[in-house]
Amino acid sequence: MFTGIIETIGTVSQLQQDAGNLHITVSSPISEDLKIDQSVSHDGVCLTVVALLPGAHTVTAITETLVKSNLDQLKVGSVINLERCTKVGDRLDGHIVQGHVDQTATCIGVADQKGSWLYTFQYDATIGNVTVEKGSIAVNGISLTVVDSLPDRFSVAIIPYTREHTNIQYIGIGDTVNLEFDIIGKYVARLVNR
């Protein structure tokens, strides 16, 4: 389990295709502290550390993960958000994030609000996921609060600290992001639809 409070950003240093799998090597400030078999959120996707290198670690994304996320668009040099799993007893500063991406969205707007930024994302609403105003959403693993909610799009406000310390600073119109909808909202929606 994660909180959506990004710990650091990393840089993709190597990509290796292996049949349907993609081995992703990431250089980061936390790589030295990781261990094999540890779960780490990479742009909101929970992946298992399979190898350690000096200043870097490798994870493997399987076909299912590549289909549901934007990880298949990674290139050497891509910057990704990283968060280690939550320790029992820690404060839950963001919201409950499982690291299970529900679907992707496309950035359709970035507006400078003179001290913050308003990002708007559009997603395929036919899958059944929903947002609510003032509800939680994880975008590339970042715990954010929904500002505006429409059936197929939503907006989030980004404060300077979040923009400076995550890869949201590199997201522009047309870019694809990973979405994990609020777990409580997903359960409520499923119960209502029964």
pLDDT in tens, the chain (194 residues): 899 999 999 999 999 999 999 999 999 999 999 999 999 999 999 999 999 999 999 999 999 999 999 999 999 999 999 999 988 877 778 888 999 999 999 999 999 999 999 999 999 999 889 899 999 999 999 999 999 999 999 999 999 999 999 999 999 999 999 999 998 877 777 777 77
Phi, then psi, of 72 in degrees rounded to 5: -70, -10
Indicate the pTM of the whole model.
0.93
Count of Cβ atoms closer than 10 Å to residue 2 Cβ: 26
Choosing among 3.20.10.10, 3.20.20.80, 2.60.40.10, 2.40.30.20, the CATH entry for 103-193 is 2.40.30.20
What is the domain partition of the chain in residue ranges? 8-84, 103-193
Listed in order, strand segments (DSSP E) in 19-64 are 21-27, 39-42, 45-53, 56-61
d(CA 66, CA 110): 26
Q: Which helix (H) or strand (E) holds 104?
A: strand 103-112
Q: Indicate the CATH number of 8-84 among 3.40.50.2000, 1.20.1260.10, 3.40.630.30, 2.40.30.20.
A: 2.40.30.20
